[in-house]
Amino acid sequence: MSAALLVGLINGFLISRLKLDALITTLAALILWRGIAQVVGDGKLVPFVNPTFEALGKGYLGSIPIQVVIAAVAIAGAFFCIRSTLFGRHIVAVGGNEEAARLAGIRAERVKYIVYIISALLAGVAGLVETARLGMGDPSKIGVNAEFDAIAAVVVGGTPFSGGRANIPGTVVGALLMQVISTSFNMLLIPFTWSLVLKSVIILFAIFLQRPREV
């Protein structure tokens, strides 16, 4: 989690202070840190046995998997933040029009810093859960194409790339849809690569529906 916090701080600095493109910067960071992880792990699987840690991915709270509980807490927190807090309104405002938000007195750079820190920490939690579920570390495989599913979930869920609106329930539905597609292809013994093709088509169609309309 400390490493995730460091990534969030660096991304926040590069994007909010140095004004680098957000998408390119985060993709470059993904490649950079995955490469560093592979160097640390020497490109090999790193198995481990730690029942307490593995409970994050395999344990249950009553009859509910702990990973589902973690996801539910994250979703509820995001929904409450966006809908019921001043900071959430600032996030939407900065995403919609950063310059207008700044002129309205919002500290846009600070908002972006905090958003990238939160994003990195949540990614760190997801990485811990997935590692605990598999019982091993594998930087070359774990999380591959996860960014693609995340983008698809957000776009299909109704949050536009242009910003200014956030649809948390829609994003959850989009994420479930992406998982259903992957699971269905696996159960039907269809090559995984075809699921990527279908997801790409879905993303393009969602962006097409969100395109600006000419008056």
Could you report the per-residue pLDDT of 132-171, keeping only the tens digit for each? Answer: 988 888 877 777 778 888 888 888 888 877 777 888 998 9
Of 73, 77, 106, the closest CA to residue 92 belongs to 106
Q: pLDDT at position 34, please?
A: 87
Which of the four pLDDT bands, split at 50, 70 and 90, describes residue 204?
confident
Which of the four pLDDT bands, split at 50, 70 and 90, describes residue 213?
low
Which of the four pLDDT bands, split at 50, 70 and 90, describes residue 199?
confident
Q: Each residue of 119-154: b (16+ CB within 10 Å) or e?
A: bbebbbbbbbbbbbbbeebbbeebbeeeeebbbbbb
Q: What is the dihedral of CA 16, 18, 22, 23, to 10 degrees?
A: -170
Q: pLDDT at position 215, please?
A: 53
* Cβ(137)–Cβ(188) below 8 Å: no
Whether the per-residue pLDDT at 66 is higher than 90: the answer is yes
Could you report the per-residue pLDDT of 7-53, keeping only the tens digit for each? Answer: 999 999 999 889 898 889 998 998 899 888 888 877 778 888 888 99
Which of the four pLDDT bands, split at 50, 70 and 90, describes residue 212?
low
Phi, psi of 199 (to 5 degrees): -65, -40
Q: pLDDT at position 122, please?
A: 94
- Report DSSP letters for 74-123, one per residue: HHHHHHHHHHH-HHHHHHHHHHH-HHHHHHTT--HHHHHHHHHHHHHHHH
Q: pLDDT at position 141, please?
A: 77
When pLDDT is averaged across residues 203-210 and rounded to a whole number, the result is: 79
When pLDDT is averaged across residues 66-84 and rounded to a whole number, the result is: 93
DSSP 8-state code for residue 213: P
The burial of 63, by beta-carbon neighbours within 10 Å (0-12 exposed, 13-18 middle, 19 or more buried), is given as exposed
Could you report the per-residue pLDDT of 110-126, keeping only the tens digit for each? Answer: 999 999 999 999 999 99
Q: Tell me the β-bridge partners of 47.
A: 136
Chain centroid to CA 36: how far? 20
* Cβ(184)–Cβ(168) below 8 Å: no
Q: pLDDT at position 200, please?
A: 83
